[in-house]
Amino acid sequence: FIGLVLLGRINHFQVTMSMITFSDNKAGMAGLDKEKIQKIIDQSSGESFSSFAKKKQERLEKQQNEIRAKMYGMSEATKKYHQREMAELCLLLETQRSLDRDCVHIDMDAFYAAVEMRDDPRLRDIPMAVGGSSMLSTSNYAARQFGVRAGMPGFIGLRLCSHLEIVPTNFDKYISESRVLSSILSDYDPSLTMGSLDEAYLDLTDYLMGRVHPVRHNRVRYSGDCVCRLPLLGTNDQLPVGPSTQREETCPKCTKIRIIHEDEVEFGVGRSEVVKEIRFRVEQATGLTCSAGIAPNFMLAKVCSDQNKPNGQFELENDLHKVNEFVRELPTRKVAGIGRVSEAHLSALGMNKCGDIISLAYLLPCAFSTLGVESMLRVGLGLGSNMHSRDSSESSRKSISIERSFSPTSDSKVLTEMLQDLCNALSEQASTKIRSASGLSLKVKLSSFDVLTRCASVPIGCDLLDADRMFTLGKVVLLNLLSEGKELRLLGVRLYKLIERSDENQREEKGESVLDMLKKGRVNSEKGEKKEEEGEDAIIVVEKRRDRESVWDMLKRRRVNKVKEGGEEEEDEDEIIVLEKEGDDTPLCPVCRRCMKGMDETQMNWHVDECLNKKSIKDLLMSDYVRREENPATQVKRVKSKTQQKTMLNFFPKSG
């Protein structure tokens, strides 16, 4: 215990320092003088930002102290309970592990900067960044050696590197190149997911099954006095197969002689070879390089793509031992989704590497909710999704937003005009995928860097997707903020409570009444129905997907089964069983199996809703009972004497 306290104090110091110092976890920034860079950043930051950063740090330290208080106050009984619970959760999560997929993450190298350097050779050998004085979108690797990185104000970048050249953004060019990237990748996975303009997630499993022969591609490289075209001829390039040719031409841009080298290269059938082929094709089509990660799931693939940047790839074998070794030594901050705050919370618990999350898993409830605990356990085990988000029938867009930053102002005219522009842009952006929205959120960042969010919603049916309606509602919220004399530096609009066009199509395709669904129980289903006949009776079992159930639900269900009287096994909640006589058209309730003959559709709906509510209440009470019975921290001392239990007689005075 003393060692744990000491460890917590050490981690407290490390986290406090890491929250106020320069972060160098970006590719190409290793080995920098962090103290020198931080000193320049502190001297360049204004009083408002310094005050804001101090408040954030104080808030984080308060959270850390609360976490430590829970950790140090944990009793031995509670510790054992959480150890047992985490062990059960880890076992359940392991059942979801899949090592039979070939997941790939493609990440373009310094994308915005690379596009600008390709089009202007003068920028290739000097520190440069893309953005403006208020914010940088990215920087090239030469600028990163000075500490200049994305998300940093441009004026601070100039303090770090006085000869830094800042180029304004040109999103038309970036979008165009992103479309070329997407077109190439779709040849290998038509269902690929674009994480952003410069990154993509592919599942090569199906493609590799059909890849039985090596593939050859034509290759073009350039040399000579002209360096306008990429890729240039390199000494470490892949050896060609077959003959090669050379020819010269005059560059129309710089008027110098350019030598064009043409040949063929061959790529094998393994997944590593296919990824090399993908990277080759991207470079040939765009003149830009990309890095790749190959792993059993997308979470690990994203981590792997950062291992050999720039213009490299890293493969993690689909082997449980190799995966565990890799994850065990992986810093928690390297995992997508773990930012500064989550890193600080984990470090306060003594968890700096992903392997620590599993060895100290019983401490997770001190800092995270049940969903957070499950998420962190998945990180510690190296369990990520190996299915595209669009493949899930339950996945849908929750919100869509747009925002813009600017110099601090409280001018209502300027801000309302900006709000109108944002609403128009958001309406145009959302109209292709969203049918309607009934919730609006206005996000503002004050001159003090504090962020405020104001939400407003309208009844379903009052569509906010229309730009004028969106602006009318948003303007009321904005003017209320401005009436308080607040000066803003960022304005954003978000729509939520969305109905997607795909959701509407699915409803039209699958739309059916309760009666239709009940009758469907007698008809063959398209999704794995199993039919068993016993004499005149038929049992139709409709199996639902188990991956929709959270690991906590699975754990609760197992515990409920254990406390069932007489040891009877509870009916699987993932199965809907309908008993009926062959040829009988009498509708039965799928929950209580009561005959609903004579009811109209409205009465059937009411009946089914009531049954579902009763079942939900019963499950809730049972899970609460299990939690109280098994958790020693909340266990209530049992009353041994029945005479001490309260009954109605306790509320009346005794006679005599």
Q: β-strands 136-139, 245-250: how paired? A: unpaired
Q: Which of these, 171, 173, 137, 167, lies nearest to 152 by C-alpha position?
A: 137
* Angle 493-499-503 from CA coordinates, rounded to 5°: 140
Q: How far apart are the first and last CA of the chain?
A: 58
Q: What is the DSSP string of 420-473?
A: HHHHHHHHHHHTTTEEEEEEEEEEEEETTS-EEEEEEE--TTS---SHHHHHHH
Q: Which of these, 523, 527, 526, 528, lies nearest to 580 by C-alpha position?
A: 523
Which tokens is 449 given?
Answer: 């860097």
The residue behind tokens 């669904």 is: 517
Name the residue type at position 519: K
Cα separations in angstroms, 280 against 135, 228, 264, 286, 495: 32, 19, 12, 10, 40
Cα–Cα distance, 368 to 344 (Å, whole number)? 12
3-state secondary structure of 216: strand
Q: Which of these, 586, 585, 605, 582, lies nearest to 595 by C-alpha position?
A: 586
Q: Which of these, 229, 282, 224, 231, lies nearest to 257 by C-alpha position?
A: 224
Q: Which of these, 374, 387, 494, lies nearest to 437 by C-alpha position?
A: 494
Cα–Cα distance, 382 to 298 (Å, whole number)? 10
Cα separations in angstroms, 41 against 20, 38, 53, 391: 10, 5, 12, 44
> CB atoms < 10 A from the CB of 643, how many?
6
Q: Which of these, 475, 480, 441, lies nearest to 457 by C-alpha position?
A: 441
Which tokens is 213 given?
Answer: 């022969």
Q: Which of these, 564, 573, 510, lies nearest to 544 by C-alpha position?
A: 573
Label residue 287 left, alpha or beta by phi (over 0 means left) and psi (-120 to 50 means alpha): left
476 contacts: CB under 8 Å, gap ≥ 6: 456
Which tokens is 15 given?
Answer: 């986290």
Cα–Cα distance, 281 to 279 (Å, whole number)? 6
Which tokens is 197 given?
Answer: 């303009």
255 contacts: CB under 8 Å, gap ≥ 6: none
Cα–Cα distance, 492 to 169 (Å, whole number)? 20
Q: β-strands 128-131, 488-500: how paired? A: unpaired
Which tokens is 47 given?
Answer: 């009083």
**Is residue 199 annotated as part of the catalytic site, yes or no?**
yes
Q: Residues 85, 116, 199, 277: which is the catalytic one?
A: 199
Kind and range of the H or E element at 15? helix 2-20
Cα–Cα distance, 112 to 107 (Å, whole number)? 12
Q: What is the largest CA-CA distance in the chain?
A: 119
615 contacts: CB under 8 Å, gap ≥ 6: 591
* Angle 48-49-55 from CA coordinates, rounded to 5°: 95
Q: Which residues are catalytic?
A: 199
